[in-house]
Structure 1
């Protein structure tokens, strides 16, 4: 009988000790968690005053710089210029150039006899102007072009046709009873005459009767 009572007391003491230890363990965990929370809440981000971290600041992205707007200019008249003078004129307008040397017996060596685009045409700064320069020392044959029929055409039509072939254009205005105002009634070169590129063709425009 006594042995049973002693066993019961031992079990009771063991259970009490286990329960007390478990409670102390739980309290220890709670205290540790409480300290971690206080430490976390008391931390400050190392960010200079008045600044917001990049990931929280939608305006922190650096804006791209604006490119300078392109400017339109008129191609200069380089006809009969030396190549050195032509380059100076192109540099003034911030235009690039490509020099093409060809044999042209109608012009002295080093002289511009043609250009693309033509003078007065609108182009953007930074564009390239092709400059044709005479060089009689070249072994290749000279390119020749034929004069077209211009009589009966309007001034604008004749001008466009001549430019497209490779001619410069000069104008004379006179009265004519046979042609309406603005119509070509004469030209200074015969039709199909073979001449050099850059040759200037004079067309005579009727001012009416």
Structure 2
């Protein structure tokens, strides 16, 4: 069984190295949650009070526009999910988070990580790193959608996040790449014929 200390070490290993004392402080605030496939973790209208570190599983962040379900982000092992505007403003989100596989997620509560960041310089840098990664990921996605044709968007996802292409349903991959499932099929087919 994975312990809080194991996860705190993993978070530090993946994001920013922490001193032993900081790893133990971080471990104390982590909250483990287990979800079945298809469960909702965060509902639209709720406030995002925690960052989510994914130990195991596949999570989808999405929203509705004109009654259509649109995928914003898909995360998997060692990734983070955060509804950043709701998290910082502590206002209700329009984004939702659901599991696409059975998942184990560790919540990092906002109030507690911010208190630790005031006490530990390395945790403050880790926290800043979480935000940097989230913002860069958002910018890369926005630039990709604005400037790249369908096949380049698919290739970028293939190189940056092959796990998503292996594990997520095609309808969600198409939505993430802002293309129809038919366009996604044509793109995949054309790449196989190269």
TM range (shorter): under 0.3
Normalised by the length of structure 1, the TM-score is 0.20
Normalised by the length of structure 2, the TM-score is 0.21
Using CA pairs under 8 Å that are at least 6 residues apart, name the structure with larger relative contact order, 1 or 2.
2
